[in-house]
Structure 1
Amino acid sequence: MADSPDSAAVAALAQEQEVIGVKMKRDRVDTIAPEQRENKKMRSEDTAKDTAKDTAKDTAKDAADGYSTRKRMHGDEHSTVVAKHYNMQKEIGLEARSHSRIFYLRNFNNWIKSVLINEFLDQVRRGRDPNQPVRVLDLGCGKGGDLLKWRKGGIAHLVCADMASTAVDQCHQRYSEMKNRGGRLFTAEFICADCSKNELRNKFQKPDEPFDLCSCQFAFHYAMESRAQVEMMLRNACAHLRRGGFFFGTTSDARELMRRHQMTNVRASEESDGEAAKRENEGTAARSNVGFGNEVYNVRFHDSGTSPPPIFGAKYDFHLEGVVDCPEFLVHFPLLECMAKKFGMKLVMKKTFSELFHTFAKKDYGRHLLNVMQALETYPAGNGSQLLSADESEYKHAADFLQNSSNPSGTVGTMSKSEWEAAGMYLAFAFTKE
């Protein structure tokens, strides 16, 4: 007999535990499909005793989700911190960005988004009238860095939404500048709202007209604070998609983050003065919360490392040179996949950035975009130019590659070691509406 959906959910979470050390902090009832859970709740309302039990269960679930009653009473601190961070970000211009230590990493991330947008626009248009308009929802649109990508994609209408008011204003301004330059341009609307806390439907100009695509780039990890926020984010992303539409995006890779976190704590324990070994002999070994990173990024978890992180609310501080400096949450992907099924979504792609690079760099348009977008740095530098990093060890991987190639005196496109490590913390995903 085939496994039930809730059994599959339990199995998926158990598999995730084995990889990143996540301990399930809820029993099986919490993985039952929402409709089944609602029916059970209705039956239990026959007696006050059952109601009391349900209340206690909900309270315990909230605590496990990392979204406690105390946090609700004191307001949405995390959302405020994130919105404030992005509201304070200044537009520095192309010239200043060209001197950034993560110049190529930012271009590489934009390349990733470009190939994803091209890929899913192609899939939406496959087998349908080429003149049929394409509608897109961009959740976490930021300052409008993807507006040009959507214009080149030839879409008809774009809805941009972000929690940071300054970002939405700058996105709107960029759109106006594009419009003033002339040429064919999609229509657009701009919404300032926390997409993990607010239902967007009543803010749409045409709330009953479905979207073909929903894009969420480098933003979903902010919603993983609680079950309620994830469900709202998924509702905004998926409930308004037409059948055959796609919800796709990029987010942090929980498995890779936890792998680095655990490796760093193990090294820190091994380098201690013997206290760690003593605690281990006594059965009380603890891992220190030392953080990890390099010259362009840093990650520090809020937990001490002595227990597995919760499914929701696994908080860490993330710093990326000149771009990001605020808290985020782990995205446990098997759980996300199970929750997305509530909205009729089926996972069709999940790839790390490394896997995406090796896939799309082999395609003609992927290679073309790598050059056009300057997504890779030329090593060794020539014509009097300088490498982004003055540290030669940052390019040892490129030097070794050339040394072992058929043309050791040639050049190769790459990024510095620190930039590759930062890119390695992310993955891309795509769901389709069944």
Structure 2
Amino acid sequence: MSESLSSTVVEHYNKKNPSDLAARSKSRIFYMRNFNNWIKSVLINENLKIIRNDNRELSVLDLGCGKGGDSLKWINGKVSKVTFADIAENSLEECKNRVSKVNFETNFVHIDATKELLKDKMENCQLHELVSSQFVIHYSFESFEQADTFLKNVSDSLNPGGYFIGTTTNAAELIKRLRQTESNSFGNEIYQIKFYQDNKDYFNLFGVKFHFKLEGVVECPEFLVNFEALVRIAQRHGLKLLFKKTFAEFFNEYCQRPEYLYLIKKMQALEPYYPQDLADDTSKRLPGDYEYIDQKLQDEQFKLDLKPEETYATLSKSEWEAITLYIAFGFVKETDLKKEEDLSRNSEIVFR
């Protein structure tokens, strides 16, 4: 990231204070945050299962770890080693405190992974079976050089056959919504996005900046991730795309599996919805925010099919509009080094 933008992002995450559970439960996006955390939990668990089935050591790089919010996932995943890396020094210190008593080996690296190489920051830069980078990679798309450095860090950190997983904003959806407005901004009461360019017909591969504000979570500049460009740069470093899914697609694929259906309830990833006459407080409901379930509850048979102790699990329309701005993705590091070199040469012609 440019020096000024890098400072802005670091300052934002260093200042960001984790609220207590009581305060978070009253947040307008309490269920959305839990839903996004459920997505990360499933994404991480599914890949750890693959590695575990191959009898490989569970060594992880948490790239863009922040304050260590995914540390419980590494504990539950029974990993043996985790390297935590982040650009925000204060966040990394809090991460150290958070994982001070975990039962796996830890390393900590203060790094701008879009400009610096991990191998230059660590005396013994070990290889991992998994690199996880959650809601981070979009910061690297300020320039080709930064995206290339970021993905080189990913590849250099993986054993052949290792996995790179992550989440980021969905550029196609962002552009679609932008083109549906008459201005250069859009959003609702919980999120706002403002683009810094007026031209809606053409977007560069890199450096397309927008300001993203999500209530109580994010308020800083980000960059569009041209996913085709991401795939081609990843190929330069021997990383092959396995999947790209919207959060809606990912949820639909895994939500009915018993272990993940249970996790939805445990993590409160969906909101229990009571009909108007049974709800304790409906004053905070915005008109139309629960229109889907309100329509369903007009069907007497639907209500009869609900067991007496059941409520309908849902999300508000406002939260769903924000959730569907994101995608999850996965890559694998290929083992054919000659193929990696050939892809690198071909890609250089495209991105030069």
Q: TM-score scaled by structure 2?
A: 0.89
Give yes or no for the alignment of 1:120 onto 2:37.
no
1:78-97 to 2 correspondences below 5 Å: 78-97=5-24
* Aligned with residue 431 of structure 1, among 320, 325, 331: 331
Helix, strand or coil at the partner of 1:408: helix
Shift in Å, 1:311: 0.8
Q: 1:307–1:379: structure 2 CA closer, same or farther, 3 Å change rule?
A: same
1:163, 1:388 → 2: CA distance?
41
Of all paired residues, the percent bearing the same amino acid is 43
1:342, 1:87 → 2: CA distance?
33
**Cα deviations across residues 34-89 of structure 1 (Å, max 9, x unaligned)?**
xxxxxxxxxxxxxxxxxxxxxxxxxxxxxxxxx9xxxxxxx522111111111111
Counterpart in the other structure of 1:22 = none
Helix, strand or coil at the partner of 2:269: coil
Give yes or no for the alignment of 1:186 onto 2:118.
no
Counterpart in the other structure of 1:8 = none
**Cα deviations across residues 189-220 of structure 1 (Å, max 9, x unaligned)?**
1212111111012333531x310000010011
Helix, strand or coil at the partner of 2:210: strand
Give yes or no for the alignment of 1:134 onto 2:49.
no
Shift in Å, 1:145: 0.8
1:134 is aligned with what amino acid? L
Q: Which has the higher helix share?
A: 1
Counterpart in the other structure of 1:144 = 68
Helix, strand or coil at the partner of 1:264: coil
**Maintained 8 Å contact 2:273/2:312:** yes
> Could you list the runs of 5+ residues in structure 2 that have no partner in the other structure?
335-352
Shift in Å, 1:406: 4.1
Shift in Å, 1:392: 4.4
1:251, 1:218 → 2: CA distance?
5
Q: 1:341–1:405: structure 2 CA closer, same or farther, 3 Å change rule?
A: farther
Counterpart in the other structure of 1:420 = 320
1:279-318 to 2 correspondences below 5 Å: 288-289=183-184, 291-305=185-199, 307-318=201-212
**Maintained 8 Å contact 1:139/1:160:** yes
Helix, strand or coil at the partner of 1:160: strand
1:406, 1:239 → 2: CA distance?
57
* Aligned with residue 95 of structure 2, among 171, 177, 187: 171
**Aligned positions, number:** 328
Counterpart in the other structure of 1:239 = 156
Helix, strand or coil at the partner of 1:190: strand
Counterpart in the other structure of 2:27 = 100
**Maintained 8 Å contact 2:140/2:150:** yes
**Maintained 8 Å contact 1:353/1:423:** yes
1:233, 1:385 → 2: CA distance?
49
**Maintained 8 Å contact 1:250/1:427:** yes
Counterpart in the other structure of 2:181 = 264
Bigger Cα displacement from structure 2, 383-392 vs 407-416: 383-392
Helix, strand or coil at the partner of 1:169: helix
* Aligned with residue 228 of structure 1, among 126, 145, 160: 145
2:246 is aligned with what amino acid? T
Counterpart in the other structure of 1:407 = 302
* Aligned with residue 204 of structure 1, among 107, 122, 128: 122
Helix, strand or coil at the partner of 1:194: coil
1:379-394 to 2 correspondences below 5 Å: 379-380=273-274, 385-386=280-281, 389-394=284-289
1:368, 1:335 → 2: CA distance?
37
Q: 1:246–1:403: structure 2 CA closer, same or farther, 3 Å change rule?
A: farther
1:243, 1:402 → 2: CA distance?
52
Q: 1:378–1:344: structure 2 CA closer, same or farther, 3 Å change rule?
A: same
Shift in Å, 1:365: 1.3
* Aligned with residue 231 of structure 2, among 337, 340, 346: 337
Q: 1:404–1:214: structure 2 CA closer, same or farther, 3 Å change rule?
A: farther
Q: 1:404–1:206: structure 2 CA closer, same or farther, 3 Å change rule?
A: farther
1:76, 1:353 → 2: CA distance?
32
**Cα deviations across residues 132-178 of structure 1 (Å, max 9, x unaligned)?**
421100111111110001100000000111111111111111112xx
2:108, 2:300 → 1: CA distance?
50
1:87, 1:168 → 2: CA distance?
9
Helix, strand or coil at the partner of 1:431: strand
Counterpart in the other structure of 1:372 = 266
**Cα deviations across residues 394-426 of structure 1 (Å, max 9, x unaligned)?**
111122234458422543111111000000000
Q: TM-score scaled by structure 1?
A: 0.72
**Maintained 8 Å contact 1:303/1:309:** no
Counterpart in the other structure of 1:219 = 136
1:328 is aligned with what amino acid? E
Helix, strand or coil at the partner of 1:393: coil
Counterpart in the other structure of 1:53 = none
Bigger Cα displacement from structure 2, 340-349 vs 388-397: 388-397
Helix, strand or coil at the partner of 1:407: helix
**Maintained 8 Å contact 2:296/2:302:** no
Counterpart in the other structure of 1:49 = none
Helix, strand or coil at the partner of 1:244: strand
Counterpart in the other structure of 2:246 = 352
* Aligned with residue 219 of structure 2, among 325, 342, 349: 325
**Maintained 8 Å contact 1:347/1:430:** yes
User: Larger Rg: 1 or 2?
Assistant: 1
Helix, strand or coil at the partner of 1:145: coil
**Maintained 8 Å contact 1:136/1:159:** yes
1:203, 1:246 → 2: CA distance?
22
**Maintained 8 Å contact 2:128/2:157:** yes
